[in-house]
Structure 1
Amino acid sequence: MKVDFRYLGRSEVREIAGGQALSFAPNLARSKVFFDAEIVHPLRFREAICALHDVVVGDLKFKKKDKGAYEAWKRDQAQKQEQVRQTLLDQARMRELAAVVKEPLPKNLKGDFQRMHRLYWDARNKWALELSRNDPELFRHLVPCDPVVTVAPDMVFFECFAKDESSYGFLGVDRGAFRTEAGAGLGTTNVDYSLALYEHFQTLRSYRPTRLLVDPSGFEVNIQGRTDYREEKIDLPASWLRGFGQLQAAMGLPSRRFELSVDVVYSILAFLKRHREKAGPRSLRFQLQPGKPPTVVLEPWGIPIVSHGRAYEGEKAEEIKVWGRRRLAPLARILPLAERFEVMLFGSGLPSVWTARMGEMRMVLALSGWTANDWTRGSNLDQFFADLQADPAAVDKLAGHLEQVRMARLTTLAEQTNVPRSVLMGSLHELARRGQLVYDFSVDAVRWRSILPVALSESMLGPEPAELVAGRRLAADPSTTVEREVMMARGARLVVANVGQSACEAVIDPDGSLTRAKCGCSFFYKNKLRAGPCRHLIALRSVARRSVVATTDRSDLTVHLMSGTYAELRAEADKRTVATGYVIEHAWRLAREAIQRTASLADPTQAAGVYRTPAKIPQSLSLPRALVEEIQREAARLDVSVSVVVEAAWSVAADQIRKSSSLLN
């Protein structure tokens, strides 16, 4: 995809009256975006923007061992006999250079330099074009995409991807961090970014007033004939845009959120800087226990680091491993500024999001599952969900609303736009795929941010993943069938199916998302769920939406159970990892005939020793509507409450259920 970049001059730190200005050259090929205000704390901004630079240039992918140094050493050994001759030759050259220094500089030196400089850049652009056609990976390494800056009503934020595309950086600066604001034009633009600009950052000082300037002058001056005006046509890879879509998909995954104190991140980075592991595992192992501060274990050394921040507030104890930990190195620069770190984990081998809170600034570092599994090609987070169908009308309505308000929280977005929640996530994901919005992990909101000045077509976004295409084909195959289903806690379902030549099973939540799964294919054996679900699990999810359990009309039944009965039901449900309602459903199937044959409720339950005692614990059960109606009819016939009928069914079937190894039969 060809993208035009037009810059007037280069981004730099330049001297102004009474101080200096950090001036970013915007992309003139886009709509006018500008910002001009004084930075209250220049040093804090310097450290934060330099940390973002470390993300931009980050590339930790495995590279083949370079034997060039060894071969050079061998050549050097072979040339030792010529060392004396080379020394004499160098001395002669020095005498010649000394004579040249005494001569005056050529009059046309500057013109010759500019002409040769133009030859260099023409050759480099030609070489980059050749690389983009024949070696896209090397092209992406040598020609990283410029960061984008967005001027929003409440903040100015920068975004970038690392060279290896496995790290995403977001630096947000609140408008309160600026003073004497001279003007702002809302929008998003690319900014000219170079190593020279990074070196200019180092000159920022607290004793010199510093202004942040997204320079609007390029939109207004006559650029014809300007020597500092340049146009670049970059073939932007579709994978770069896909990375933004994966970030949007990540927000819908179930996550574990907790805080880490700054000393924990410091200890991790300091230890990794001093030590290099020689064998695996090379992971950070998070030990999360409710009510206790999180513990991070550095593997393979087994060194625990306990946080001194807030306790973990999750529901159960877990251990989660994440890889690619050396990508956290950019956080070292902001450690003196950070107040705390907030971490989001999606599971072992899945992405992690690290948010550094720095008062008026916040930096988000989103890491893919591991370095080789980058955001743009290997994550496939959107495939964890049921097919995210985007409604064109809803997409247009959301785009218009977000372009106007610039930021909205998911909890209120559906109400503000009257978009049904069933299509909200799919429509937001479509906007993210087009590069028109970004999910701000630091405030749990979506922001309008058009990454490109043009609307993107499906052809520009690239082909769909191969596993997704194959999964849809398998779902249409009549041989793909659901064998068994179990209702679990919170409305989730355990589904077992035969897909093609593979037997697979998955836990599907009420939204249709995969939370746990198992398959016998080679793709799952190699990647588990870290690279997204395999084609068989995608097909399983599709056919599970049409299964009997999924299409059964369900209803809530409120009962008041005796404490002993409630404890027995909960123990049985927890042992089998299913919902309490499913245990009651199975008990009713076993006890239905006995209860329907009796004229008095005491008859079928006398052997079980049921005594009528006052109800104690209310419980809401999700059951098939037909089953609820059956229980209500029997309660009316026997002139008792539905709670008594439910307790009677459990009393009759309890022993048989306890002896059964499965509730599926």
Structure 2
Amino acid sequence: MSTETNPVPATESFTLRYQQPSDFHQDAVELFTHLERDAVQFAGKVKQPIAFREGLATLFAVVSSDYRYVPKDRAAYTAFMQMRRSSQNQGLAKAYRAYFDWLLRNDPQAWLILDPIISVHPDGLLLEVFSKDEGCYAALALDNAFFETQGQTQFGTTHIDFSQELAQGIEQIRSFRDTHFTVGKDAVNFKTETAPALPDTEVIEKRIQVPHTWIRGLLQVQSASQLPSDTFFLKPIDLYNALRHLRLHADIKGKKRGLRIELVPNQPPRLVLEPKDVVIEGSAEPYQGKQAKVIRLWGRRRLSLLKRFLPFAETIEVQVLGNGMPSFWILSGAGMSLTLAVTGFTASNWSQALNFDLLLPRRTETLKELKTVVAALQKTYVATLEDLAADTQLSEQVCRTALQQASQQGLVIYDLAHDVYRYRPLTQEPLDMAHFQFRHSAEKLAYDLVARQKAIRPLQLNVIPLEGTEIAADITVKEDKRDYLAKLKLTEEGQISKASCSCHQIMTHGLSQGACSHLIALRITYAQQQANRNLSIITHETRLLTRRHKQQQEQIQVTLNQKRLLISRELNQQNKQQQFAFNSVQEARHAYLGKIAQLELSGFIEG
């Protein structure tokens, strides 16, 4: 497609400047904040040192995690070791500066993440991190009761210096020694007088090139926390059993590696580990939803990042958005909570990322209500939806819409653990949202094609029972003066298992350079059609429903085929089939929908 478009910058430049590197010295954790952001200050004595240590260690595990495949490269390691030897006697601050300068010159893609974000609010502290593979986000909330506050507290949001050396120092925290915690541009109390630090008074500067996709992923995960979801509860021992099984049993190449969650009303939730369908029965309260369902998640190995915090959790609340969509795991303990959001895909998984994009609202216009709501929240830093509606004299629906948009702009965050909204600007200056509206130029062209009249011909759908749906359509691009034939095959979970297009990009490079605008336009059109699907006009459809009897499954496949209704039941490896013929398609459709409703009431779940 040869439409003229303005190139969109691929990265956002951030320069983070700190007076000193954050340090752990004399049982004091000192976090130095960004010099060019508003001043934030906090100091206090930690009441639960071990829980504090494990919470910070979990954050470091998340921010340093990267599940993308990286081939071994000894040349980069050799160059790094040479740099390290040449700067080992320069003192702590100069060594840090030499390291970041070396990264910028030799491997600018190695440090793609921003330092953690810390917010000091009237009710406590919130620390946030996001992995550079866009796979998981974590937020550690520490209530005021977690500390014995000392000195003056200044509310606000900023970045903090967080490094491998600091993480190693935090490991020295012990329960039999008092631990102090300070946040500020300068050391609030307990100033360090270490020999390596004394000669170094230069400001530490990190120049980071962060991809727009990373920032967009962070904003999207935080925005997704406000979407409708299915909620259930687990006990820590339930999650421990799942993690223990994953630790003792390696994944089998070529086999399914998902985590299935079976939710049946008034029954405890069940975790099913593929491919051997190992069932872990939940021991918490029963699921309170009205409809039985099964939800399949990916990225289950990322849950192992919670292992160090798990002993301090008293309850676990899980919120799931759907098959392959982000899931939120909220671990709550005494005076603290940890929220882990698992997206289920890495930055390179374009098909799952596209499914995630389609889930979120795409309102980009400026709402006057947005400024009103954000201004009200800025005064109090923390507020519930009801309080904001009362303060602004707006309805809760209008406030929720404004907060959703403010979250996508990096101004507001929704705290799932406390059910409150927080004023938390991601950067000092507002982000240019034109850079984050679309993931890349192909996506922008795809939405342009969808908006055009008659650019996409009627979709050709072929439903394959137990496999998925094949979608095809001719797409007319007037700039190229030709039609393109785009084809997709979606699995039952919404994943794209096969894709092809007659355009030059796909014919030459395949999917190695990502999807073309025609494939993305086809997927968007199908999603819009499914969202507006009218059950009263369907003539062909197949659904699979399952009911579990301990370790055995009873499966029923119900198929509508014009005037015929086919029911196939499988239990104990025995298959029974029934077929009904009706005088009209309407009668067959009515019987088909009635049978599905009857099965769901008797405990069957679709999937």
Instruction: Provide TM-score, normalisation by structure 2.
Output: 0.69
Deviations 1:446-501 (A, max 9, x none): 21111211122235547455565345434443337xxxxxxxxxxxxxxxxxx435
Confirm whether residue 201 of structure 1 aligns to residue 129 of structure 2.
no
1:146 aligns with 2:115: yes
Match of 1:253 in 2: 227
Task: Give the superposition deviation at 1:439.
Answer: 1.9
Say whether 1:49 aligns with 2:56: yes
Cα offset for 1:339?
0.7
- The one-letter code of the counterpart of 2:236 is V
What is the CA–CA distance in structure 2 between the aligned matches of 1:25 and 1:542, rounded to whole Å? 48
Kindly indicate whether residue 463 of structure 2 is the aligned counterpart of residue 535 of structure 1. no
Offset at residue 151 of structure 1 (A): 0.3
> Is 2:18 aligned against 1:11?
no
Alignment of 1:437-586 (within 5 A): 437-461=412-436, 463-465=438-440, 469-479=444-454, 499-500=456-457, 502-503=459-460, 519-520=471-472, 522-523=487-488, 525=490, 529=494, 534-536=520-522, 538-539=524-525
Output the CA distance in 1 between the equivalents of 2:198 and 2:57. 34
- Letter of the 2:50 partner, please give it: L
Contact 2:18 2:204 (C-alpha < 8 Å) held by counterparts: yes
Question: Is the 8 Å Cα contact of residues 152 and 186 (structure 1) preserved in structure 2?
Answer: yes
Task: Judge conservation of contact 1:388–1:425 (CA < 8 Å) in 2.
Answer: no
User: What is the correspondence of 1:209-288 to structure 2 with a 5 Å cutoff?
Assistant: 209-217=178-186, 227-279=201-253, 280-288=255-263
Aligned equivalent of 2:311, options 308, 314, 336: 336
Deviation for aligned residue 1:170: 0.6
1:23 aligns with 2:34: no
Q: Distance in 2 between matches of 1:115 and 1:468?
A: 48
2:138 counterpart (169, 183, 186): 169
Structure 1 residue aligned with 2:293 = 318
How far apart, in 2, do the equivalents of 1:451 and 1:355 lie?
Answer: 22
Query: Which whole-Å CA distance do the structure 2 matches of 1:178 and 1:353 have between them?
Result: 26
SS of 1:184 mapped into structure 2: coil
RMSD: 4.2
Answer yes or no: is the 8 Å Cα contact 1:260–1:309 preserved in 2.
yes
My pick for the range that moved more, 158-167 or 120-129, is: 120-129
CA–CA distance in structure 2, aligned partners of residues 375 and 401 of structure 1: 38
Q: Is the 8 A contact 2:97 2:204 kept in 1?
A: no
Distance 1:121 1:426, change over 3 A: same
1:388 aligned residue (363, 367, 374):
363
Is residue 165–residue 375 contact of structure 1 (8 Å, CA) maintained in 2?
no
Mean Cα deviation higher: 242-251 or 336-345:
242-251
2:104 corresponds in structure 1 to 128
**1:314-365 per-position Cα deviation (integer Å, ceiling 9, x unaligned):** 1122111111111111211012111121111111211111111112110011
SS at match of 1:13: strand
CA distance in 2, matches of 1:166, 1:467: 22
Say whether the 8 Å CA contact 2:470–2:488 is kept in structure 1: no
One-letter amino acid of the counterpart of residue 229, structure 2: S
Query: Are 1:296 and 1:305, in contact at CA under 8 Å, matched by a contact in 2?
Result: yes
Partner of 2:39: 32
**Partner Cα separation in structure 2 for residue 52 and residue 392 of structure 1:** 35
- The aligned counterpart of 1:434 is 409
- Compared CA separation, residues 172 and 376, structure 1 to 2 (3 A): farther
Q: Tell me the residue number matched to 1:633.
A: none
Structure 2, gaps ≥5 residues long? 1-11, 75-84, 192-196, 463-467, 473-485, 497-514, 536-558, 561-582, 592-607
More strand by share: 2
In structure 1, the residue matched to 2:342 is 367
CA distance in 2, matches of 1:267, 1:314: 24
Percent identity, please: 26
Range with greater deviation from structure 2 (227-236 or 354-363): 227-236
Counterpart residue type for residue 47 of structure 1: E
Structure 2 residue identity aligned to 1:52: L
**Mapped contact 1:437–1:449 kept (Cα < 8 A):** yes
1:330 maps to amino acid: L
Q: Give how far 1:62 is off.
A: 2.8
Contact 1:472/1:539 (8 A) holds in 2:
no
Secondary structure of 1:193 counterpart:
coil
Contact 1:369 1:530 in 2 (8 A): no
8 Å Cα contact 1:164/1:374 also seen in 2? no
In 1, distance between residues paired with 2:147 and 2:364? 42
Residues 169-189 of structure 1, C-alpha deviations (whole Å, 9 max, x = no match): 110000111114322111111
Q: What displacement does 1:418 show?
A: 3.9
- 2:330 corresponding residue in structure 1: 355
Residue matched to 1:113: 89
SS in 1 for 2:312: coil
Q: Cα deviations across residues 96-133 of structure 1 (Å, max 9, x unaligned)? A: xxxxxxxxxxxxx999922899588447515425643x
Is the Cα–Cα contact under 8 Å of residues 390 and 423 in structure 1 kept in the other structure? no
Q: Name the CA distance, whole Å, in 2 between partners of 1:238 and 1:377.
A: 18
Quick check: 517-526 or 147-156, which moved more? 517-526
| CA spacing shift, 1:119–1:296, aligned 2, 3 Å | closer
Task: Report the TM-score when normalising by structure 1.
Answer: 0.64
Q: Which has the higher helix share?
A: 1
Q: Is the 8 A contact 1:6 1:28 kept in 2?
A: yes
Are 1:169 and 1:365, in contact at CA under 8 Å, matched by a contact in 2? Answer: yes
CA displacement at 1:211 relative to structure 2: 1.5
Q: C-alpha separation between the residues in 2 aligned to 1:376 and 1:426?
A: 27
Question: What SS does the aligned partner of 2:69 have?
Answer: coil
Equivalent pair of 1:383/1:468 in contact (CA under 8 Å): no
1:10-67 deviation digits (Å, cap 9, x = unpaired)? 211222xxxx321111111111101011111111111111111111111122344x59
What is the alpha-carbon distance in structure 2 between the residues aligned to residue 112 and residue 479 of structure 1?
A: 65
- The aligned residue for residue 59 of structure 1 is 66
**Separation in 2, partners of 1:48, 1:112:** 31
Instruction: Tell me: CA distance 1:546–1:340, structure 2 relative to 1, closer, same or farther (3 Å).
Output: closer
- Whether contact under 8 Å (2:324, 2:493) holds in the other structure is no
Residue 148 of structure 2: aligned partner: 179
Aligned to 1:83: none
Q: Distance in 2 between matches of 1:208 and 1:29?
A: 34
Pairs within 5 Å for 1:406-425: 406-419=381-394, 424-425=399-400
The residue identity in structure 2 corresponding to 1:187 is G
Please, which runs of 5 or more residues in structure 1 have no aligned partner?
Answer: 69-108, 481-498, 506-515, 550-574, 577-654
Mapped contact 1:439–1:446 kept (Cα < 8 A): yes
Whose radius of gyration is greater, 1 or 2? 1
Structure 1 residue 370, shift from structure 2 partner: 2.9
> In 2, Cα distance between the equivalents of 1:238 and 1:121?
25
Contact 2:61/2:305, CA 8 A, preserved across alignment: yes
The whole-number CA distance in structure 1 between the counterparts of 2:69 and 2:534 is 48
Checking the alignment, whether the CA contact within 8 Å between 2:373 and 2:392 is kept in structure 1 is yes
Deviates more, 1:116-125 or 1:264-273: 116-125
Q: Measure, in 2, the Cα distance between the counterparts of 1:25 and 1:518.
A: 54
